[in-house]
């Protein structure tokens, strides 16, 4: 079988193009996952704030207490 001879420049071009496609895909996936996580964090923050106790200042001592 004859081997397909490619110049090193063509091989490096294919490698660079493949790397660029891979980097682009990784960046879009990371952005998508981060948007999903931020949406979930926002929902948890809102629900969690309703149940948290608040600190109130004691008028006698000036200290904050639950």
25 versus 56: the higher-pLDDT residue is 25
SS3 64: strand
Single out the residue of 55, 51, 53 nearest to residue 65, CA to CA.
Answer: 55
pLDDT of residue 48: 64
Q: Dump strand ranges (E) for the chain.
A: 56-57, 64-65
Assess whether pLDDT exceeds 90 at residue 1.
no
42 neighbors 49 (Cβ within 8 angstroms): no
Q: Is the dihedral of CA 27, 29, 34, 39 positive or negative?
A: positive
pLDDT of residue 32: 97
Condensed to tens digits (0 to 9), the pLDDT of residues 3-50 reads 677 788 888 999 999 999 999 999 999 999 999 999 988 887 766 666
Kindly state the average pLDDT of the residues 48-57: 77
């Amino acid at each position: 079988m004859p081997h397909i001879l490619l110049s090193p420049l063509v091989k490096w071009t294919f490698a660079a193009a493949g790397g660029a496609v891979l980097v682009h895909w990784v960046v879009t996936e990371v952005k998508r996952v981060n948007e999903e996580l931020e949406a979930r964090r926002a929902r948890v923050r809102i629900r969690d704030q309703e149940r948290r106790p608040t600190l109130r200042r004691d008028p006698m001592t000036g200290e904050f207490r639950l």
